[in-house]
Each structure stands twice: as C-alpha cells, then as structure tokens.
Structure 1
Amino acid sequence: MTEEPDLVLRAAFHLVALEELQRDKSLDPVAQREISERTSAAKRELLQLLSAAFFPLTQRAAWRLWRSGITADAGDGEVIESRSLSGLASIACDRVFPATHAYPQRDARPT
C-alpha cells in the first residue's frame, strides 16, 4: 500500500502513451528522437516513484498480507516487513503455502 497510488498510476499511463507514440512510423526523425528522450525520462521517473512508493524500507510503504475474506480496502491484514521485495514474497509464500492443501505431505523415505 502506498500513500500516493495516483501519482504512480499517472506516471505509468504517461510512459505507456509515450511508448505507443514511439511506434508511430509517420513521425519525422527529430520527433522520434524527442519522443525517445521523453520516454527514457518517463521510464526513469516511474522507476523512482515505484522505488519510493514500494521499497520495503521506506516509511511511505506498508505491506500487508490479506487472507481470504478480507477486502483490500478494509485496512485489515497482517503487516509483513522485510528488507527487500524478495523477502516480502518469501514471507507471503511461507504464510500461504501451508494453507493451500494443494500438495499433500509425502513420506520422504524411498519406496
């Protein structure tokens, strides 16, 4: 969860629009170069916003694990913390996997 999702979304929409414009073959070389430079800048801006908004160690991001039956806008859910995104994914998998019952426990002895 981030405090500024609209800012991130606007930056993402802007980047997508520029990338679509970059595929326009009717643009002259000067316009193509300008669009290319703006696309690169928009990509850098979006990456910075994503990092600031979602990096686990920032004070602006809160990571919650929602379980079945809890709506995302309820503000409930278990707060999880880690130093990295992969750490957050690992915690989520550790908490969720035992509840899946998708993979029954097997005897580790050879048969």
Structure 2
Amino acid sequence: MDSELALEISDPGQLRALAGWLEATRGVTATRTPTASAPNEQGALDILTVVGSSQVLIMAIKTLPAFLSSRRSNFAINATVHGRDIELTASNVADGAVIERIIELLRRDKADG
C-alpha cells in the first residue's frame, strides 16, 4: 500500500529541485499539485505530493536534511502526514527529532495498512 506526503516549501522556485531530489530515491513519485487559495487571498501555491511505500518514503525523508543544508538558511519545508503539519528547517533537522516524527507517522501508516 502506498503512502502520501504533502510538502509545501518556502521558496516555490525550489519545487522542481526538491521533486528531483526526492525522486532520486527508487520508488518515489513527486507530483506538483496546485492548491486552492484561501478566502480573500490571491493566487495559490503548488505543493509536492510524494507517493511511495512507507519504507520508500522513509528513505526519501531521511535525505531531506542534506537538501535543506544546501539551501539558504531561511528555507523551510512544511510536511503534512496524515493531517499533521511538521515544519522542517536546516536548524531543526540537525538533531534528527523532526525527521523521526515524520518517520513514526509513516510507520503507523505501514502498521495500519
């Protein structure tokens, strides 16, 4: 059973680079998905919808600290897993706790599936 992860990034110009980075993990598909704009706001942001088995997504997520560290310091990724939002930045992924939170959510999905 495939799992899904939604990623919104602080710099939309990096969306293609992030998709390519994640798709370097065999079995991962990253699709650019437009989102609806909020009421009284103009325009909408695109997100990456990342699909793969829980195990494959876990491998891809573990590569995000390297991606983040190669970007400017204020670059951030907001990951949504099972309706829970988790922000990843170069500083908060350094200790590994935020990555472990995402992995735990994906493992729950695997156990439920």
Q: TM-score scaled by structure 1? A: 0.30
Query: Which one has a larger percent helix, Structure 1 or Structure 2?
Result: 1
Give the structure, 1 or 2, with the largest relative contact order (CA under 8 Å, sep 6 or more): 2
Q: TM-score scaled by structure 2? A: 0.30
Q: Which of structures 1 and 2 has the bigger CA Rg? A: 1
